[in-house]
Amino acid sequence: MKKVVVGVSGGVDSAVALYLLKKEGYEVEGLFMRNWDSSINNDTEGMEIATDICPQEQDYNDALKVCEELGIKLHRVDFIKEYWDYVFTYFLEELKKGRTPNPDMLCNRYIKFDLFIKEALKLGADYIATGHYARMENGKLLRAKDLNKDQTYFLADVKAEKFKNVLFPVGDYTKAEVRKIAEENNLYVAHKKDSTGICFIGERNYQKFVQNYLKVNPGDIIDIETKEKIGTHNGLMNYTIGQRRNVGVGGNAKRHFVCGKNLAKNILYVTFNEDYLYSDSCIIENCNFISSVHPTFCTAKFRYRGEDYPVELEYLENNEIKVKYPNQVKAVTPGQACVLYLGEECLGCGFIKTVYKNDDPLWYIQ
């Protein structure tokens, strides 16, 4: 009997993954990863700021309850230091550069599909599994059946060899079907709400959380067309390209869009004119290919839940690619991932470095 160690999060997806694998006849064990200490935040001075939010403990208790219901052994491992070193430090450094990071992708690369695999092998695993909505066929990473829940975008930075002996049990089901399986089998988390947002922030206010680690440096908000100061921003780290809500400019019938940042002068640029948000090409760096196919033409997603855009790829030196999209795309943002697809197959990704329109760099970051 083959043994599968399942990454159990305390949510309904990984719970159903446990159920399905056990039903298929595998020897199944669960492994809960504790990646963040939710009871404290450490600011830049090393002070501990108490909070009353400990969602991971609740998640562990939920995972334990499900495993008890299914007669499955649950292990627990702490990756708090490793998460800080490989994911959270990256998150802070990207914010300092004025970029918009995607820590969930780094978590998958360094924690869930590296350290977790090593821990599972210590437990004698023949396979590992997670509750991600994705599919593996013949070594190819494919979109999930439920395109609305597809999570291949977040898996695109994982090294190709890490997908060997990986199972995605819920990838062939829709979210509604997964909920139904959980309900029909009376799983404890059948009606548990899905988690949203960045994992280590959870339900906390984003700006207040970040201010525990990065010093707030207010500066001018400038209208990019009139060049007039129209407000004061609360630190460039708190804004992303295309943002309309909570920009800090009041008294206008229309909302401003964030369209650029000048780090040297600590200026946030905004506009009413959406034309400033559109680009036709970008450079992506630190590229990772899961597939052996490196096409010239394919499609790309520039953000999770974004649509697929036809693109042309020009392969450059230093593991960079120029991605051209003549139909133009709105708010392509430095620091975010550009994930490449060929039909159903997720080819890999790169991280957006520079954004262009008519071969001129946009105002995004200077």
DSSP string, 238-288: G--TT--TT-S--S-SSPPEEEEEETTTTEEEEES-GGGGEEEEEEEEEEE
pLDDT of residue 222: 94
pLDDT at 48: 40
Which of the residues 54, 67, 107, 298 is marked catalytic?
Answer: 107
Three-point CA angle 75, 129, 105, nearest 5°:
100
**CA contacts within 13 A on the Cβ side of 214:** 24
* Active-site residue, from 67, 199, 259, 346: 199
Q: With 0.75 as the threshold, say if the pTM is over it.
A: yes
Residue 298 catalytic?
no
Tell me, yes or no, if 199 is annotated catalytic. Answer: yes
Of the candidates 96, 170, 136, the one whose C-alpha atom is nearest the C-alpha of residue 365 is 96
First to last CA, the chain: 58
pLDDT at 204: 64
C-alpha 74, offset from chain centre: 26
- Structure-token match 């970040």, residue found: 210
pLDDT at 362: 85
Helix 12-23 and helix 175-184: axis angle, to 10°?
Answer: 70
Q: Enter the tokens of residue 350.
A: 């790169």
d(Cα 190, Cα 16) in Å, to the nearest integer? Answer: 9
The residues, ordered by sequence, that sit 6+ positions from 270 with a Cβ below 8 Å of its Cβ are 221, 222, 223, 224, 230, 247, 249, 256, 257, 258, 259
Note the pLDDT of residue 203.
58
User: What pLDDT shows up at residue 38?
Assistant: 67
**For residue 51, what pLDDT is reported?**
42
**Beta-sheet strands, E only, within 130-203:** 135-137, 140-142, 166-167
Nearest Cα to 132, choosing from 160, 110, 159, 104? Answer: 104
| Per-residue pLDDT, 230 | 92
Domains of the chain with bracketed CATH:
3-184 (3.40.50.620), 216-272 (2.30.30.280), 276-361 (2.40.30.10)
Could you give the CA distance from residue 4 to residue 284 in angstroms, rounded to a whole number? 36
Q: Flag residues of the chain having pLDDT under 50.
A: 42-53
d(C-alpha 160, C-alpha 290), whole Å: 4
